[in-house]
Structure 1
Amino acid sequence: MIRSTLIFITLLFVSLTPPRKEVINVLRRQVLAEAELAMKQQPITVTAAISPRSAGGKHDFYSEGDYWWPNPAHPDSPYVQRDGLSNPANFIAHRLAMIRFSRIIGALASAYKITGDERYVKVALKHLHAWFIDPATLMHPSLQYAQAIKGRFTGRGIGIIDTIQLMEVVQGVSAMKDAKIFDKALLAGVRKWFADYLAWLTSHPYGKDEMNAKNNHGTCWVMQVACFAKLTNNDTLLQFCRDRYKQVLLPNQMAADGSFPLELARTKPYGYSLFNLDAMVTICQLLPDLWEFELPDGRCIKKGIQFMYPYVANKNGWPHKKDVMYWEEWPVAHPFLLFGAEQYKQADWFNTWKRLEHRPETGEVIRNLPVRNPLIWL
């Protein structure tokens, strides 16, 4: 009887865990279709578009703050803020190019993981060389001119959030780097680029400002640094990220019920709550020992997922204000559902992830979804 009970419990435990094969089955058709499209794309880097308002050069990433608009009373004066409302006239060409790059590498690396076909790696190498190695097209490893505001700032620390798009590039490199055709000199060059970027992120005033941000920006700084530090084997920064999560992010951002009050106070509380939870969970996926970390009062990442899950399964139950923009476009197949289901053996979370949109096309959703190719994170 005891033996039978143990076997039953073991089988139940396994059945609650989303097998990697099942994740592949959900994504296979989409991944291979995206990869075939990616195979036909030529590299487009930051040098392909230049804004006359940028204070940087052709190799410097430049973007403008989303929620800043001309003052209708004084069109030539500094821009004014309209929180939550994106100005479509602002320069975002570099951000779009980086998102495109991220999607290409993510798709190619995912297809390689499924098939083992090195033709996907061969194409990825061309894009990696253009962005990080080729002196004619590379991007400088800094973000000094990101999220500028006309008449106010040539760049801001808040702009560092734009490079969350590079995380799936890094994960793609990690997924493909052991392929026979992966150029080892190129791998060394990519690692050096990210080591240089990490040095900038941790020393420049903009990087320090972003690290100390109290909301999702501070979370995304840790998420990026952890991701890039894994590629560069920087154990010191990895430990710093662990400590930052335990001592700053979780205690200062999560309420007793698992919500994020600083995100709920925004004009897009639903979208920002999803975004910050995705980022927190992705940090745990990068640093797995954090999955079981719990503050003395019981706050932990599992509680964050438990708070948000009912409003993903049924958005109509959301008890807070609707977002001023993009309310209808959320939720999608959020990584916190998949990663959390795998970690905590929650079949409901996995089944909800399965039925949601896996390939959103709304720009605002894409840029605020840090993990779009989960196979390269598993």
Structure 2
Amino acid sequence: MRNKFFCIVLAILYGQFSFAQAPKLFLINAGQLKAKKEAWQEQDKKTKSLIAPIISKAVDFLTAKPKSVMDKISTPPSGSKHDYMSQAPYFWPDPSKPNGTPYIRKDGERNPDIRKITDAAFLHELTNQCKFLSLAYYFTGQEKYATKAIELLHAWFIAPETKMNPNLNYAQAIPGINDGRGIGIIESRSLIELADWMGLLATSKSLSVAETEGIKTWYKQYLDWLLTSKNGKDEHRSKNNHGTIYDAQVASFALFTDNEELAKNTLTASLQRIAIQITPEGEQPLELARTKAYSYSTMNLNDGWFNLALLGERAGIDVWNYQTTDGRSIHKALDWLIPYGLEEKTKDRKQIIPYNSGELYRLLVLAGRAYKNKTYLKQAASIKQDKETQLTDLLYN
């Protein structure tokens, strides 16, 4: 009888221990997030103020209906709506041509017609919904949040009638020129963070082994497409932010699907881009040549290099401190950008839209931790706080 009672107690304790374990994450520091959860459970006021809006947003998403690639009005050239499809954002009808084609490029000027094809918006929306739902589940343990997130994921990745085919053959097409381009692969970068949101759902009883394996299989197939398709190879050859973010996707998806060797090889090879992209002074010439010079410089660090550095922490590759023989590094690139982002220096490159200093916040918080430099954290504190900076504090600070 006592042995039976002992086994029951052990089972209960194991279940509690399992739920308390730090989740398997790739961008977010699982240990830090676990500490935030413990602080929230202890009613820490600051932590509660960060988590309350997360839960509020998640509650709003509990009634969300699943969306998929099947909901778009247009049909890709393949004839299957299961294929993702989008239009190049910076291309416009040529006014000198009767039907406007072939379209012409206006760098940095977004054509509102791209919103007529909904795949990009719906994929971004899926990632955003799963972010709040999975965080709400992680902190509260309430199954309703996980159940909704898994329902949304099932529609996009698994259900035969609505799933997206694992390719971007028809992304960022230019009317009158092509049906899709390698450049369009940048539109799947939200799948990097989506892997973390799924990691937070791992302890949910609503997430079956079959469901988990189904999503991982989709990621494996998409990863294979990235590595072997013409579009994937074209994007890999990109010298600017597109190449960096391509590497971040490959490394992330490799880690998510347990291919650590591929992740390490990709991260190691990515370091060679630093000599091409960053000057010894820290400028990013390929981004500064654009019409949104400082926004693109920030994005290349945020979505590209800093994500690669975080993934490198998981794979044992030190991206943070890598430096070429003549002093080029992501550390130097950040230091060059900061005074422009904080309005301490006058921007002398083209920037056709207002620069959002909030985009610098995550870089400064991460740099403060990675380089053990409180100056970065003080600079971050000087930026106006909003919902995005609060979310960054929850996940990284």
Normalising by the smaller structure, the TM-score range is 0.7 to 0.9
Paired residue for 1:37?
Answer: 60
Paired residue for 1:63?
Answer: 86
Say whether 1:135 aligns with 2:163. Answer: no
Secondary structure, aligned partner of 2:189: helix
Say whether the 8 Å CA contact 2:366–2:396 is kept in structure 1: no
Give the Å deviation of 1:142.
0.3
Give the Å deviation of 1:213.
0.1
Paired residue for 2:274?
Answer: 250
Say whether the 8 Å CA contact 2:368–2:374 is kept in structure 1: yes
Paired residue for 1:274?
Answer: 298
Task: Give the one of 219, 223, 228 matched to 1:194.
Answer: 219
Residues in 1 aligned to 2:70 and 2:385: alpha-carbon distance in whole angstroms: 33
Say whether 1:72 aligns with 2:95. Answer: yes
Say whether the 8 Å CA contact 2:239–2:277 is kept in structure 1: yes
Give the Å deviation of 1:272.
0.3
Q: Which moved more, 1:187-196 or 1:116-125?
A: 116-125
Say whether 1:107 aligns with 2:142. Answer: no
Residues in 1 aligned to 2:182 and 2:163: alpha-carbon distance in whole angstroms: 22
1:315-334 alignment to 2 at 5 Å? 315=343, 317-324=345-352, 326-332=353-359, 334=361
Give the Å deviation of 1:333.
5.5
Assess, with a 3 A threshold, how the Cα gap between structure 1 residues 89 and 357 changes in structure 2: closer, same or farther. Answer: farther
Alignment gaps of 5+ in structure 1:
1-17, 361-368
Secondary structure, aligned partner of 1:84: coil
Residues in 1 aligned to 2:393 and 2:259: alpha-carbon distance in whole angstroms: 23
Say whether the 8 Å CA contact 1:331–1:356 is kept in structure 2: yes
Q: How many residues are aligned here? A: 348
Identity fraction in percent: 33
Give the Å deviation of 1:330.
4.7
What letter matches 1:270 in structure 2? Answer: Y
Q: Which moved more, 1:331-340 or 1:284-293?
A: 331-340
Q: Which moved more, 1:185-194 or 1:169-178?
A: 169-178
What letter matches 1:137 in structure 2? Answer: T
Q: Please give the per-residue CA displacement for 1:149-192, whole angstroms capped at 9, x wherever unaligned.
A: 11100000000000012222111112221334421110000000
Q: Please give the per-residue CA displacement for 1:310-369, whole angstroms capped at 9, x wherever unaligned.
A: 222x23624322412x32545436432222222122334335445445546xxxxxxxx9
Say whether 1:116 aligns with 2:148. Answer: no
Paired residue for 2:327?
Answer: 298
**CA RMSD after TM alignment:** 2.5
Q: Please give the per-residue CA displacement for 1:250-292, whole angstroms capped at 9, x wherever unaligned.
A: 1211111122110001111011001001121111011123223
Assess, with a 3 A threshold, how the Cα gap between structure 1 residues 59 and 24 changes in structure 2: closer, same or farther. Answer: farther
Q: Which moved more, 1:169-178 or 1:98-107?
A: 169-178
Q: Larger radius of gyration, structure 1 or 2?
A: 2
Say whether the 8 Å CA contact 1:113–1:376 is kept in structure 2: no
Task: Give the one of 58, 82, 87 matched to 2:111.
Answer: 87
Residues in 1 aligned to 2:122 and 2:276: alpha-carbon distance in whole angstroms: 34
1:1-378 alignment to 2 at 5 Å? 21=36, 24=47, 27-52=50-75, 54-76=77-99, 77-90=101-114, 91-247=116-272, 249-278=273-302, 279-288=304-313, 289-312=318-341, 314-315=342-343, 317-324=345-352, 326-332=353-359, 334-353=361-380, 355-356=383-384, 358-359=386-387
Say whether the 8 Å CA contact 1:64–1:148 is kept in structure 2: yes
Residues in 1 aligned to 2:309 and 2:49: alpha-carbon distance in whole angstroms: 23
TM-score, with length taken from structure 1: 0.84
Assess, with a 3 A threshold, how the Cα gap between structure 1 residues 328 and 295 changes in structure 2: closer, same or farther. Answer: closer
Give the Å deviation of 1:29.
3.0
Residues in 2 aligned to 1:375 and 1:286: alpha-carbon distance in whole angstroms: 19
Assess, with a 3 A threshold, how the Cα gap between structure 1 residues 356 and 145 changes in structure 2: closer, same or farther. Answer: farther
Secondary structure, aligned partner of 2:171: strand
Assess, with a 3 A threshold, how the Cα gap between structure 1 residues 26 and 290 changes in structure 2: closer, same or farther. Answer: farther
TM-score, with length taken from structure 2: 0.81
Alignment gaps of 5+ in structure 2:
1-31, 40-45
Give the Å deviation of 1:296.
2.2
Residues in 2 aligned to 1:145 and 1:374: alpha-carbon distance in whole angstroms: 37
Assess, with a 3 A threshold, how the Cα gap between structure 1 residues 53 and 199 changes in structure 2: closer, same or farther. Answer: closer
Residues in 2 aligned to 1:309 and 1:56: alpha-carbon distance in whole angstroms: 47
